[in-house]
Structure 1
Amino acid sequence: MDDYRAIADEIAAQIADGRLRPGEQLPTQRAFARARRIANSTAGRVYRELVRRQLVVGEVGRGTFVRAAPVGVGSVPALAEPAAAPVDLELNYPVVPEQSGLFAAGLAPLLRADALEAALRPIGATGTPAARRAFARLVAWPGAVEAPGVADEPGVADAPEATRALARSEASAPPDAPAWHPSDDAVLFAGSGRQVIAAALAALVPPGQRLGVEALTYPVVKAVAQRLGITLVPLPVDHLGLRPEALAAVHRATPLRALYLQPRLQNPLGGTLPAERRLALAAELRRLELPVVEDAIWAFLHPDKPPFAALAPERTILADSLAKRLAPGLSAGFAVVPDELREPVGAALRSGGWGPSGFALEAAVRWIGDGTVAAVAAAKRADAVERQLLARRLLSGFRVRADPCSYYLWWELPAPWRAEAFVAAAARQGIAVTPAAAFTVDPRSTPAAVRVGLASPQLPVLARALETLARIARGGPKQ
């Protein structure tokens, strides 16, 4: 039924014409239901719809208020003119409208004085027993958290059927790897995913030694390797991803100490290793006796694909974070580490001062347990699909590579464009994109390509930005 949307339309009209002013508090949902003679559940749907439209905001313990400045009003830049604040298609932090309300509901019990005092105490890399248990379940294969019942969680029950189907898919997806349920003691924590990656590399690769990476890789790994004195070795890839025989050939020529890999939604290319390639790569790594750091930061968008750690658990450090899955300000990095590597990775975390926030871990434990993480991840998967469909339509005719579930795409520019010139032309129109050089390990083989992040702008802004980028690409550098 759409009755609740009609009521939401009335409230939206009152906000638009000034009858409800910025900062004004709405009645409680129960009072609103009595005044309107509607069910409490319908009142809840009205309020969630207003939050989704970003017209109101809920504050824990205080109530629901009209936004002081609704997002998007007066904030859309004129893309035909240089913008002081560019449309950011570089940084890629997905946000869905319903997530703040879900976070607030889960945080309410944590704000009691006793719970808050416990959550604000210092905490080490091993976290707490509850945190280790929750995060071990979060990454298990097949998933044990985002399972039957998640489609009924707050924020998902009222979502479109496509979103609910995505939420249910985790329990029904057929596995193409052995079941993997890491022990609680295998989990270590840091303040961010970047810190987890840095600690893993520091533990595995001594200064001056070699780390194998895909020829186009995550820029943070390049920066971390430089600080640690690690030499990056670019490994050839094809349309399926990293080639096991190429890895073996490079290792024979000059031995590697470890491999850094993004098997699901590789950044920047967006590809995911198919089952046959994952199996072959796992066998090759066992033969070569090489450890691997699996970057799973974006893997929540592909819950139907197993972690590489499920195929080679004895030699894989799985690195993950909540920054993309939830929100950048709620970052908590974590790793699942094999027994023999746990002490060196833990020592690297401690020596780097990369301990986690106790408050972030406690909040995450509650959100994992009450279904918030599952609901937000499901909504972001639906959002990513919608943005990819938009990008494919507006960039039709160009050479674009992307996974349908990804929040970014790789654009091979038409000749005679070069990446730097295209980035500069886009910047003059107030749009920031990332040149291929940011991802290239060997600067002598930088392609004429850019990565376009799709997550940050609102959809209308993203559409106008992509239209502008397409116009720039068709016009050529001289124009």
Structure 2
Amino acid sequence: MGTMWSADLGAKSGPKYRRVAETIRGAIDAGTLSVGTKLPPVRELAYQLSITPGTVARAYSVLTDEGILVAEVGRGTFVAEKMTALQDDVWSRQLHIQEERDPKHVSLFSPRIADMGQVAAIREAMHKIADCDPHKLLNYPTRDGYAPVRTAVAKWLSKAPIGPVRERDIVLTHGGQNGLMITMQACLRGPSPVVMVEDLAYAGFRRAADMLRTNVVGVAMDEHGIRPDILELMIRKTGATVLCTSPEVHNPTGLFTPLERRLEIVEVARRHNVQLIEDDCYRLGQAQAPSYRSLAPELGWYVTSLSKLLTPSLRAGFVVAPEGGVNILRRAAEYSFFGLAQPMAELIRILLTDPRMPQLMDDVRTEMARYVRVAVNALGGFDINWSPDVPFIWLRLPAGWRAGPFTRAAEAEGIQIRSADEFALRDGRAPHAVRIAVNAHVSIRKFEDAMVRLRGLLDNPPEQISG
């Protein structure tokens, strides 16, 4: 139902959009605007207040983000029910960052993790930073000054099977990709260094190597990951000194490299003194096998981040150096960017020491797994790799579909996915497959609808290829 409410900004001070939001809050608190009341359209209220429609739209957006208002596509903006803090978290999880401009559009390019309370936790942490020691807001960062942050990271990593970790073994980076870049800088040696990656691999490996003017070669895989015999062959053939790999969650296939295979890879690496850079940024659950840093303490470099368990927006990454490697790693970081901004480092420390964080991260895992199950229920009749603790699905396309045409057909349906071609080396061959990432920024109903539309495409290929 509509409302005859008449807004008046009165003598309030501050930016106009805040004055509008404050006026609406006051009307709700006073009972003038009751639960379920429809607010005036943006242009109507703007005309009434003699302000721009953009100012009103911004005020409505602020109140919607706070859960005070609710916007329903095609119907308007309404006063939301009053909620407890717990209910408010649920409301935020369901409605934040929804892509309602085009109801059919869903981006499944990269994982978008659910908000299970981390937005509120980050906001609280930012308020604490605003009241921190002013020296942290005025001085250059120092190694000693970051010791409490590294200690918090070491405690967070204590359950990962990566071997003993002291705070001084850790270097803070601007996300996992930056971690890979500075680790390569620390590892690479010789006038024409060569980096090895899986035949299908995270494109960030290749891009980091390209930026460092390094040659990149692919190593063949099977269902257990990198083939040790091909690894040895490529080392002998190219003189490669670094291997970048993701044994826990291979991106893009989701494959896992078991312990027996890892030990074989370590044996080859030791024979040729090859550095092992392990990217562990995609794992949401417990590790299934010891890391290369644990199996080969003198060769293993471990890279991870908070992007898939907390938020990618903070660009919080960590590298754990092998024995004797931390000094050169620190130099690579310090010579590149002097260290993280002190307020950002302090934000990481506050979040990782927040007693709510373990449960919050578990809640993120659980919610992401719920989306994965929806995808598997819709696409389980096809050839897929999946795990509840991996925020994407690898789909091998049925006869009649090739990766390029399928991704274009999906995009015509408003669904963006990644072709296997994006993970292949420039001169490599990619299978007819796609990676479908979980997007928990849309409702699970909308995500399920996208999966059903993909299934419809898979069931109706443009051609049948026999043989």
Say whether residues 1:75 and 2:113 are aligned partners.
no
- What is the aligned-residue RMSD (CA, Å)? 3.2
Equivalent position of 2:89 in the other structure: 51
Structure 1 letter corresponding to 2:320: V
SS in 2 for 1:199: helix
Q: Is the 8 A contact 2:98 2:441 kept in 1?
A: no
Cα distance in 1 for partners of 2:204, 2:338 equals 16
Aligned CA distance change for structure 1 residues 24 and 243 (closer, same or farther; 3 Å):
closer
Q: Is the 8 A contact 1:301 1:377 kept in 2?
A: no
Among 181, 184, 187, the alignment partner of 1:198 is: 181
Aligned CA distance change for structure 1 residues 55 and 418 (closer, same or farther; 3 Å):
closer
Cα distance in 2 for partners of 1:73, 1:444 equals 37
Among 166, 171, 179, the alignment partner of 1:183 is: 166
SS in 2 for 1:329: coil
Aligned CA distance change for structure 1 residues 341 and 249 (closer, same or farther; 3 Å):
same
Structure 1 or 2, whichever has the larger Rg, is 2
Q: Is the 8 A contact 2:198 2:221 kept in 1?
A: yes
Matches within 5 A, 1:322-471: 322-353=306-337, 355-441=339-425, 443-458=427-442, 459-471=444-456
Cα distance in 2 for partners of 1:55, 1:312 equals 41
Aligned CA distance change for structure 1 residues 353 and 249 (closer, same or farther; 3 Å):
same
SS in 1 for 2:313: helix
Aligned CA distance change for structure 1 residues 281 and 434 (closer, same or farther; 3 Å):
same
Q: Is the 8 A contact 1:91 1:456 kept in 2?
A: no
Aligned CA distance change for structure 1 residues 414 and 125 (closer, same or farther; 3 Å):
farther
Aligned CA distance change for structure 1 residues 15 and 97 (closer, same or farther; 3 Å):
farther
Equivalent position of 1:249 in the other structure: 233
1:362 to partner: Cα distance:
1.0
Q: Structure 1: any 5+ residue segments left out of the alignment?
A: 1-12, 28-43, 57-69, 80-85, 144-176
TM-score, with length taken from structure 2:
0.77
Say whether residues 1:136 and 2:154 are aligned partners.
yes
Equivalent position of 1:62 in the other structure: none
1:72 to partner: Cα distance:
7.2
Cα distance in 1 for partners of 2:138, 2:93 equals 33
- Which shifted more, 246-255 or 467-476? 246-255
Among 223, 227, 240, the alignment partner of 1:239 is: 223
Structure 2 letter corresponding to 1:195: N
Say whether residues 1:89 and 2:127 are aligned partners.
no
1:119 to partner: Cα distance:
5.1
Q: Select the structure with the greater relative contact order (CA < 8 A; seq sep ≥ 6).
A: 1
Q: Is the 8 A contact 2:292 2:301 kept in 1?
A: no
Aligned CA distance change for structure 1 residues 126 and 372 (closer, same or farther; 3 Å):
farther
Cα distance in 2 for partners of 1:320, 1:46 equals 35
Among 118, 122, 134, the alignment partner of 1:103 is: 122
Q: Structure 2: any 5+ residue segments left out of the alignment?
A: 1-32, 40-58, 67-81
SS in 2 for 1:297: coil
What is the total number of aligned residue pairs between the two structures?
Answer: 397
Aligned CA distance change for structure 1 residues 382 and 327 (closer, same or farther; 3 Å):
same
Q: Is the 8 A contact 2:397 2:434 kept in 1?
A: yes
Identity percentage of aligned residues: 22
Cα deviation digits, residues 100-158 of structure 1 (max 9, x gap) = 2233344443331x436525643257761101211122223x35xxxxxxxxxxxxxxx
1:231 to partner: Cα distance:
1.4
